[in-house]
Structure 1
Amino acid sequence: MSRTIYVSKDKTSEHEFSTITDALSSIPEGTIEPVTIFIKKGTYKEKLIIKQPNLTLIGESKEETILTFDDYANMIMEDGSKRGTFRTPSVFIDANDFTAKNLTFQNNSGYGHQVGQALALYVDGDRMVFDNCILLGSQDTLFTAPLPPSANQLGGFTGPKEFEPRVNGRHYYRNCYIRGDVDFIFGSATSFFDHCEIFSQKTDDLPPAKQGEEQKNYGYITAASTAEGQEYGYVFSHCRLTSDCPKHSIYLGRPWRNFAKTVFLHCEIGEHIREEGWHDWNKPEAHKTMLYAEYQSTGEGSKAITEGKRASFSKQLSDYEALKYTKEKVLAGDDNWVPSLVLAD
């Protein structure tokens, strides 16, 4: 038996909640039956922690139903320490079988070195669906958990899942708009991005490169940390890569960990993408273990492929190799999960 809860900023009915936090708190702990929370238009400034499985959040309008907060990594805590990346998310989802539709997830803290990383979404779970959503941030907009096995520096993973087992989940993003600048899609999950727009935003006033000079790097779209032995990492299918950054100033990705896997299939790539496409994060030892690949890229940013300018450690998939990266194969797992069945409900 399923239950529907309504949230409205003005609480027009005695049966509605005025905050999403209160709506979540009304669900009895241990409930496993499906619950839907319908959220009416409005800006909800709440730092949300979701641990309810089988939960669906539906917004009245993706542009006008906004879930936002403004924590950031360089924020000083009461004990004098910095908040750090993984305590910044506006929305932290730590449960399986979660679905979001027609919503904006935002971190509104700003951008730049004073702010640092600032997550809009921290998604840790299996069978996660985001349909027709907007994700807005700057550095580290979307974290597709789990964390890598260990941090590169002491305290680097300080946050809610630092000492928890690392369990790979499957995430499906359909018809979403995702905006950021540095590593703004990062993490270890198996994630399929289907007909999404990925927007790399300009965040400073650096002038275009002068003739004969190399354009300064403005950022990276992905920073995958795919676990060793994991078959799939990030797959972008029929996506549009757009930007307001200068020509040849953005990388498709760089490896947060050495076994990173990121594939772009049938994507329209804007001229903001650098001709070499990919960066190795100065990890030549990762060239043999990571997978950075494209298949039938189109758009101005794809012309460098025919000219042989893509990074030597990346590859162009053959027709046969590309068959491995269908939505069904990437997300099937051991239980043959089909996310379209979730969206048909």
Structure 2
Amino acid sequence: MTDIQRKTLVVDEGGTGDYRTLTDAVAACADTPNEPVRFYLKHGIYEERPFIELADYIIEGEYRNATVLTASVGGRDPWPGESKTGTFRSETLFLGGGRAVVRNLTVQNNAGDGAKAGQALAVYADASRVLMEDVNLYGNQDTLFTAPLPLKEREEHGFRGPRENTPRLDTVQYYKNCTIRGNIDFIFGGANAVFDRCRIEPWHHATGTCYITAPSTPAGKPGYLFVNCTVQGSAAPGSVYLGRPWRADAACYWLDCVLSDEVCTDGWDNWRDPENEKTARFGEYGSTGPGSAAQRAFGSVDNDTEANAQREMLARVRAEFGVE
């Protein structure tokens, strides 16, 4: 993803930039959606919900912890003409289009605990190529959705949102040096996604149990890879699962990661369906820390061939995104 010459639009809530909000800056590009653009956000708290459908764009913050996009929309909130907002209309930031790069800022959804607010996305990542570097993603239930959606919903109107009736297209996503926080299924979806040197923070949940991932990987696709990541949050010891299958062909692999004692011995959950254990591709290799284990409930562990295949995938994705 070698960068090219692009225009820069400065966003400053204080009024010294080209626009006061990212939403306004994006709207200014409506007539030139294919022109590469960079949105530079000065430090500040931006209470807005930008929706971006551009061909090639960069969103870059001035300071990672002091440049904040924030909203407080939960899936159980009312929606005009309907009973609720639903998961896929709750996002703080929507990334659509072609190539989306996000760097050096924080995106959060402050709707609160899912038991009251419902699912509440910080980011809906649906661009065909997504790169996030040095980004904080904060939420509770369903913090980060990595599109595409599954082919079929399990409850009527469960996919209400911008991609409900569109073709399910592959996305490739790469997260480097990011912090991702949540409690229930807080990284989920059908993307081919690599999480490289990220900090994964499971936070305490009222049920006493946390699930980091809920992949819905299409059959035969790579799914999720976590490499050189750290799991360390505020959950109770033994209360966190590495993942559970949102759909039967879910795929998720943890490679050379440091796992705190929050990770339970089983590691993986079958989502109340033992049949998922026949199709889900869950694996782990080279884990260290008190949450690592020689044997999980299901999923491959310490398989050299599979680990090498995952390293090859990592190399391909790094090369595609031009990241060392």
- The equivalent residue for 1:276 is 266
Instruction: Write out aligned runs for 1:11-90 (5 A).
Output: 11-13=15-17, 16-90=18-92
Alignment-mate amino acid for residue 37 of structure 2 = V
1:248 aligns with one of 238, 243, 247: 238
Between 1:27-36 and 1:71-80, the stretch displaced more is 27-36
- The equivalent residue for 1:150 is 152
Deviation digits for residues 108-147 of structure 1, max 9, x if unmatched? 1111422010000000122210000000000000000000
- The equivalent residue for 2:313 is 329
- The equivalent residue for 2:134 is 132
Q: Does 1:8 align with 2:15?
A: no
State the shift of 1:25 in Å: 1.1
Q: 2 CA distance for matches of 1:184 and 1:329?
A: 23
Q: Report the 3-state secondary structure (helix = DSSP H, G, I; strand = E; otherwise coil) of the residue aligned with 1:53.
A: strand
2:285 aligns with one of 292, 295, 314: 295
**Kept in 2: contact 1:248–1:275 (CA 8 A):** yes
Q: 2 CA distance for matches of 1:123 and 1:55?
A: 13
Q: 2 CA distance for matches of 1:322 and 1:337?
A: 18
Instruction: Write out aligned runs for 1:176-187 (5 A).
Output: 176-187=178-189
Deviation digits for residues 170-191 of structure 1, max 9, x if unmatched? 0000000000000000000000
Assess, with a 3 A threshold, how the Cα gap between structure 1 residues 31 and 157 changes in structure 2: closer, same or farther.
closer
Larger radius of gyration: 1
Q: Report the 3-state secondary structure (helix = DSSP H, G, I; strand = E; otherwise coil) of the residue aligned with 1:114.
A: helix
Deviation digits for residues 62-112 of structure 1, max 9, x if unmatched? 100001111111112232511111010001111121100001010011114
Alignment-mate amino acid for residue 107 of structure 1 = N
Q: Does 1:315 align with 2:300?
A: yes
Q: 2 CA distance for matches of 1:188 and 1:203?
A: 24
Q: 1 CA distance for matches of 2:90 and 2:199?
A: 24
Q: 2 CA distance for matches of 1:315 and 1:282?
A: 20
Alignment coverage as a number of residue pairs: 320
Q: Does 1:219 align with 2:210?
A: yes
**Kept in 2: contact 1:31–1:52 (CA 8 A):** yes
TM-score, with structure 2 as normaliser: 0.95
State the shift of 1:330 in Å: 4.8
Q: 1 CA distance for matches of 2:306 and 2:114?
A: 39
Q: 1 CA distance for matches of 2:89 and 2:319?
A: 30
**Kept in 1: contact 2:114–2:120 (CA 8 A):** no
Pairwise CA RMSD: 1.7
1:109 aligns with one of 105, 108, 111: 111
Between 1:281-290 and 1:141-150, the stretch displaced more is 281-290
- Could you tell me the percent identity over the aligned residues? 38
State the shift of 1:338 in Å: 1.9
Alignment-mate amino acid for residue 290 of structure 1 = A
Between 1:105-114 and 1:142-151, the stretch displaced more is 105-114
- The equivalent residue for 1:213 is none
State the shift of 1:217 in Å: 4.5
State the shift of 1:239 in Å: 0.2
Alignment-mate amino acid for residue 289 of structure 2 = G
Q: 1 CA distance for matches of 2:33 and 2:169?
A: 22
2:275 aligns with one of 285, 305, 326: 285
- The equivalent residue for 1:338 is 320
**Kept in 2: contact 1:170–1:331 (CA 8 A):** no
**Kept in 2: contact 1:280–1:287 (CA 8 A):** yes
Name structure 1 gaps, 5 residues minimum: 205-215
- The equivalent residue for 1:118 is 120
